[in-house]
Amino acid sequence: MMSSQVPLEITSFCKHCSDGLSGITEDESCVELFRDELPSLLRNKPLFGEILHSLVDGGGYPDLGHSTMFDNELLLHADSSRLFSLRMFLWGPGEYTVIHDHNSWGVIGPVSGALGIFNYKREDNESRDGYARLIETEEVRCLPGETTFTLPLNRGIHKIGNPTKESMVSLSVYGKPLARGYINGFDIDNDRIYKIFAPKSKKKMLAFQALAGLK
Ligand SMILES: [Fe+2]
């Protein structure tokens, strides 16, 4: 069983990418770097076999208690200067996220199975609270070793998930997040936009609001 230590392959991949990122600030250049680098990690199935075994056996890595935005998300590495983070996502058959935006650039790809991505464009002028009109612009399918990408805010509205009948694993690298504290979710059928908070932030926010009721 793997110990709670970060596997060497993850540490060395992230060190290599951290070095590569130095001096790069443009979102598109960061995306380009990780689209070059991530496939080597995506093809390392034995490593992800070990990581999944560790999760099943309670090995302590990745940390199941670490706060994440999505409930199928696990943090594999966070860069010490917050330049990027490496995350693993676990998907049951046919499972997809809701349509959402991001606070940073991201590079995404499957380790096993296939990853389905739907990209959207916002068509309204953002003048109405709670209203957003989207059109689907693209459907992408990635096989193991292939990647796609996202960009911050309205430049990267998408829905991703597992189009297959088997459970699968994907990886995402995200850049330094904007200090927004939430992402937007979209209900395309009803032209609605709503905020999604990470469960930990949501609990803190609700606790703060509930304090008023105790006075
Ligand atoms: Fe996403």
pLDDT, tens digit, 9 for 90 and up, residues 99-150: 999 999 999 999 999 999 999 999 999 999 999 999 999 999 999 999 999 9
Look at residue 15 and tell me whether its pLDDT is greater than 50: yes
User: 160 CA to middle of ligand 1, Å?
Assistant: 6
Question: Cα separations (Å) of 138 from 84, 88, 90, 117, 158?
Answer: 26, 24, 23, 8, 9
Quote the mean pLDDT of the chain.
94
User: 55 CA to middle of ligand 1, Å?
Assistant: 23
Look at residue 2 and tell me whether its pLDDT is greater than 90: no
Domain boundary assignment for the chain: 8-208
User: 162 CA to middle of ligand 1, Å?
Assistant: 13
119 burial type by CB count under 10 A (0-12 exposed, 13-18 middle, 19+ buried)? middle
Q: Which CATH homologous superfamily contains domain 8-208?
A: Jelly Rolls (2.60.120.10)
pTM of the entire predicted model: 0.93
Q: What is the distance between the alpha carbons of residues 110 and 131, in angstroms, rounded to a whole number?
A: 33
User: 142 CA to middle of ligand 1, Å?
Assistant: 14
pLDDT tens, residue by residue, 22-68: 889 899 999 999 999 999 999 999 999 999 999 999 888 999 989 89
User: 157 CA to middle of ligand 1, Å?
Assistant: 8
Output the pLDDT for position 1.
43
Helix, strand, or coil here: 51? helix
